[in-house]
Amino acid sequence: MGGRRGIRALRHPAPLVTDIGLALLVQAAMTMPFVVPRAPELPDATWASYGLTTLTVVPLVWRRRAPVAVFCAVLVAGTLYRFALDGPGQPLPYAGLVAVYTVAALSSPRKRVGVALVTFVITFPSVATNSGDAKELLFSLFVFGAAYAFGRLTDTRQAYVRAVEDRAAHLERANRIEAEQAAARERARIAREMHDVLSHAVSLMIVQAEAGPVAVRAHPERAEAAFDAISETGRDAMTQLRRMLGVLRGDDAGPGGSPRGPQPGADALPGLVERVRGGGLDVTYETTGAVRTLPPDTGATAHRVVQEALTNVVRHAGATSVRVRLAYREDRLDITVTDDGRGPGPSGAGGHGLIGVRERAAAHGGTARTGPGPGGRGFVLSVRLPIGSPAEVGS
């Protein structure tokens, strides 16, 4: 852990450490004229002039904190060096270039423009008091202009990097929120599936188990059929639960290596109705219109809707008969489940099961409505699922 922190610190040193290193580098460059052999006619390299040279470099350590103040300090120290002590000259104004670059990169537009104007103006008398050569003037304007341009490019690049990082952070937050919402939707979907499968199977098994002792006493020949129905309902529930658990595990095959089949669709409704009818409830199933193959998702939703409706009838309605009707329209499927039971309770047609039915219908752009049956007796569940025209479904 400590080693990784050390490597990270070397790759991204603190700004003060960087500025101290830069100041030492500039000091080394400005020291060269003091240590190389000099012609006799040139001014002597004295310790006083070297100390003033160092004084020109020292402000660069604080260049990020006060760019304009550092520029002024470098300008004043350079002026003193030029007129107070006539020491060795420099091939380039290193400290001044760094100061101009820093102002261009870090300061506000007004300060940048002010420093650029001051630099442009003082370049002329500085060159005039040195050599007065036009080449030196053009070179000085060029190098200071280049330092300013590089400063602006650095500021632009940093602004671009910040914008990219902000956009990446925003996308990361958006992706995290989207993933959390997708997980929540998936949990809700799984909860609906588990509720539908278990609630339906357990309800039928309870009804059939309660009818079993009566059948044993009154109609022994029907007892075996009741127990067979309980066994078949349990096996069907286990098959569907295994299918869902296999999806959660991401397996390509179910337990024992058997491939997972698709969820039951509308074509499995006759078998569902038959199992409920085996529990003693008189169930009528009919279809109208041109029966056709539904998209897998729509077919699974139709099956779950009818399954939940029949489960509610078995558990709560106290009904003796129920009618399941599927009407195939040109662009939709209408599902109607009507029973002759007690009808809606005092709190209305609530419950998690019917909430799940509404959610399933809404997921397909459809609707689900509930209310009392004909003449105010019983209960009606009506679901409308868009399925597109036959040509669209076939394509």
Two tokens, residue 249: 């595990």
The pLDDT profile of the chain, 395 residues, written as one tens digit per residue, is 555 555 554 555 678 888 888 889 988 888 887 777 766 766 667 777 788 888 888 888 898 888 999 999 888 888 887 776 666 767 778 888 899 999 999 989 899 889 989 988 888 888 787 777 888 888 888 988 899 999 999 999 989 999 999 999 999 999 889 888 888 877 777 777 776 666 666 766 666 666 566 655 665 655 566 666 666 667 777 776 776 666 566 555 544 444 455 678 888 888 888 888 877 788 899 999 888 888 888 888 888 888 888 888 887 777 888 999 999 998 899 999 999 887 665 544 444 567 778 888 888 889 999 888 887 788 999 999 998 765 555 55
pLDDT of residue 110: 92
**pLDDT of res. 389:** 60
Nearest 5°: the CA angle 353, 356, 361 is 130
Residue 321: phi, psi to the nearest 5? -145, 155
What 210-219 contacts at long range (C-beta under 8 Å, 24+ apart), as own/partner pairs, is: 211/279, 211/280
Residue 155 lies in a domain: no
Is 42 inside any structural domain? yes
* pLDDT given for residue 348 in this prediction: 45
d(CA 98, CA 150): 10
Alpha-carbon distance 256 to 275, whole Å?
Answer: 26
Residue 123: how many other CB atoms lie within 10 Å: 19
- C-alpha span between 383 and 363 (Å, rounded): 12
In a domain, 356, yes or no: yes
Residue 166 lies in a domain: no
Question: The domain spanning residue 378 has which CATH number?
Answer: 3.30.565.10
Q: Of 386, 361, 363, nearest to 309 (Cα)?
A: 361
Quote the domain boundaries for residue 23.
Answer: 12-132
The two structure tokens encoding residue 53: 């040279």
Pair of tokens at residue 309: 């409706």
Domain boundary among 68, 101, 132: 132
The two beta strands, 367-372 and 332-339, are unpaired
**What whole-number distance in Å separates Cα of residue 301 and Cα of residue 363?**
10
- Examine the fold and report which residue of 132, 147, 162 is the final residue of a domain before the chain moves on: 132
pLDDT at 247: 59
Which of 100, 132, 164 corresponds to the end of one domain? 132
Query: For residue 389, is it within any domain?
Result: yes
Structure tokens at 156: 């632009």
Half-sphere CA count of 377, side-chain side, radius 13 A: 8
Question: Does residue 138 fall inside a structural domain?
Answer: no
Q: Which of 309, 301, 308, 295 shows the shortest CA–CA distance to 361?
A: 301
Q: What is the pLDDT of residues 140-193, one digit of tens each?
A: 889 888 999 999 999 999 899 999 999 999 999 998 898 888 888 777 777 777
For 333, residues 6+ apart whose C-beta sits below 8 A from its C-beta are: 266, 294, 298, 302, 326, 327, 384, 385, 387
Q: Give the pLDDT confidence of 27-43 residue by residue, as tens digits.
A: 888 888 777 776 676 66
Tell whether 258 is covered by a domain. no
What is the structure's pLDDT at 285?
A: 93
Short-list 196, 161, 187, CA closest to 304: 196
* Torsion angle in degrees (nearest 10) through CA of 192, 342, 275, 280: 150
The rounded Cα 181 to chain-centroid distance in angstroms is: 9
Total domains in the chain come to 2
